[in-house]
Amino acid sequence: MIQLENYESWNFQLTAMHYFSDNTKFCGLNLLDLQIRTFAPCGDGKCDWVESETQLQNGRWYASNQILPDGTQIIVGGRSVTTVEYVPANRRGTYNLDLLVKTNDAEMDNLYPFVHLLPNNQLFIFANRDSILYDWQTGGFSNPEVVVCGGAAYGAYLSGNTGVGTSQTCGRIAPLVEGAGWAMEDMPQKRTMGDMVILPTRDVLIINGAGNGAQGWGGATNPVQAPNLYNPYNAPGTRFSTLTGTNIPRVYHSTANLLQDGRILPAGSNTHQFYTFTGYQPTELRIETFSPPYFGATQVYLKKAPGGLGYGDDFTAVVKATTPTTIELNLVNAPFVTHSYAMGQRLLQLAVSPPAQNSYSIEVFAFIPSKFCEYRGQGFD
């Protein structure tokens, strides 16, 4: 047996261990240590711990390991760590796990999350009071959620009552969960005809619309000119914030879409059958750009990337950041937007390897997903 007291520089306190399929023991993950260590049993008692030349991508403490059918191990969580990763990595990066984000609080009740491999090859992961089924092969979840916000009061359109208040609620549901119901929250303002734009940060911007009435020609009053930011990963009651408003009312026939540089392009508004440039809520031909809050934070610029890629391709991206930061690369599909509906709006988060020290060249992995994930700052120019 190895005498651990001879290795005073190694602290195995609060670590995680698991056997590989060849009976080699994997160890690491303590005190935010990045080092990977293995121990292969031997008959003569002269075997020793071996430090791998590769390291973990996130330092971890109080994390959990689980061996997978392909022989690799998944590493889940840790104190103040909300990602999963694999050993060997096999060119896979870290993946943020929403379950760990939601359960990460001062109580620290998500340390050592329970991880169990099920007969269908999915993982059951339990942390704090919440649990998910996790598809480690695709990085997907078996409990997608849908959120629907705002709308007109029933009967407002037919009655022509332009003063009746609109809905202030958002309903959120996990449609694949048996017996699932709607979890309701209030937006900061009542709103109908709002456009919901998925941002590169995976937040959702709710913009345009009116606080009274309904869609249609002359059917709404009280334009809502301040957008709301919805963070789907925050706890209920903390998901909404109100951003800087515009001086241009945008109601019926208005749109909003994401530009390549990360700004939002609100455009249009016409509550009349024909172009009408006089009276209440005239036809609006002006366009403007809105800068979400991330323009005021650390800026990350994509300097180099391939012009196109196929499913399963790996590629190198060169980025520039104003200050050192954690880099995330998301692909966003530009949708067709009309009547408060964005057709084909999608966001896909790609796995990213951490950049080398003083380097901003990152390896990106365009895995083949079984299905795309749809979800699920300040000032106008």
139 CB-near residues (< 8 Å, 6+ apart): 95, 351, 367, 369
pLDDT band at 26 (very low <50, low <70, confident <90, very high): low
For 289, half-sphere exposure in the C-beta direction (CA atoms, 13 angstrom radius) is: 9
pLDDT band at 22 (very low <50, low <70, confident <90, very high): low
Instruction: List the beta bridge partners of residue 316.
Output: 363
Instruction: List the beta bridge partners of residue 124.
Output: 116, 133
Residue 218: exposure state from Cβ atoms within 10 A (0-12, 13-18, ≥19) = middle
> Above 50 in pLDDT, residue 369?
no
pLDDT band at 137 (very low <50, low <70, confident <90, very high): confident
Residue recorded with tokens 């958002």: 170
**147 is a domain residue:** no
Q: What is the mean pLDDT of residues 325-352?
A: 78
Instruction: List the beta bridge partners of residue 118.
Output: none
- More confident of the two residues 177 and 100: 100
- Identify the pLDDT of residue 371: 32
Q: Give residue-wise pLDDT tens across range 204-250.
A: 999 999 999 888 888 888 999 999 999 998 888 899 999 999 999 99
Bridging pattern class, strands 130-135 and 123-127: antiparallel
Residues 149 and 362: their CA atoms lie apart, in Å, by 37
- Identify the pLDDT of residue 103: 85
**∠ Cα 374 375 376 (to 5°):** 125
Give all strands of the β-sheet with 361-365 in edge-to-edge order. 300-304, 314-321, 361-365, 346-352, 329-333
- More confident of the two residues 201 and 5: 201
**45 is a domain residue:** yes
> Which residue, among 199, 187, 218, 300, has the nearest Cα to 256 in the 3D structure?
199
**∠ Cα 153 158 161 (to 5°):** 65
> Above 80 in pLDDT, residue 167?
yes
- Identify the pLDDT of residue 258: 94
Q: What is the mean pLDDT of residues 180-187?
A: 90
| Number of domains present in the structure of the chain | 2
CATH of the domain at 31: 2.120.10.30
| End-of-domain residue from the set 75, 108, 141 | 141
Which of 58-62, 134-138, 197-201 is predicted least confidently?
A: 58-62
**217 is a domain residue:** no
> Above 70 in pLDDT, residue 374?
no
**201 is a domain residue:** no
**Paired tokens of 181:** 């119901």
Distances in Å between the Cα of 189 and the Cα atoms of 22, 206, 269, 275 are: 59, 11, 20, 29
8 CB-near residues (< 8 Å, 6+ apart): none
Amino acid at 120: N
Q: What is 105-158 written as a DSSP string?
A: STT-TTSS-EEEE-TTS-EEEEETTEEEEEETTTTEES---EEEE--PPTTHHH
**131 is a domain residue:** yes
Residues 173 and 181: their CA atoms lie apart, in Å, by 6
Residue 83: exposure state from Cβ atoms within 10 A (0-12, 13-18, ≥19) = buried
Which of 45-49, 131-135, 296-300 is predicted least confidently?
A: 296-300
Q: What is the mean pLDDT of residues 262-266?
A: 93
Which of 94-103, 328-337, 338-347, 364-373 is predicted least confidently?
A: 364-373
**333 is a domain residue:** yes
Residues 41 and 43: their CA atoms lie apart, in Å, by 7
- Identify the pLDDT of residue 267: 95
Give me the domain span that covers residue 333.
300-365
- More confident of the two residues 191 and 5: 191
| End-of-domain residue from the set 89, 117, 141 | 141
**294 is a domain residue:** no
Considering all CA atoms of the chain, what is the largest pairwise distance in Å, rounded to the nearest integer?
94
CB–CB of 240/228 below 8 Å?
yes
Q: Give residue-wise pLDDT tens across range 29-85.
A: 454 567 677 777 778 877 777 777 677 777 777 788 888 887 788 888 888 888 888
pLDDT band at 110 (very low <50, low <70, confident <90, very high): confident
Average predicted confidence (pLDDT) for the chain: 78
> Helices (H) and strands (E) in the chain — how many of each?
2, 30
**312 is a domain residue:** yes
Residues 68 and 17: their CA atoms lie apart, in Å, by 14
Residues 229 and 177: their CA atoms lie apart, in Å, by 27
| End-of-domain residue from the set 105, 120, 141 | 141
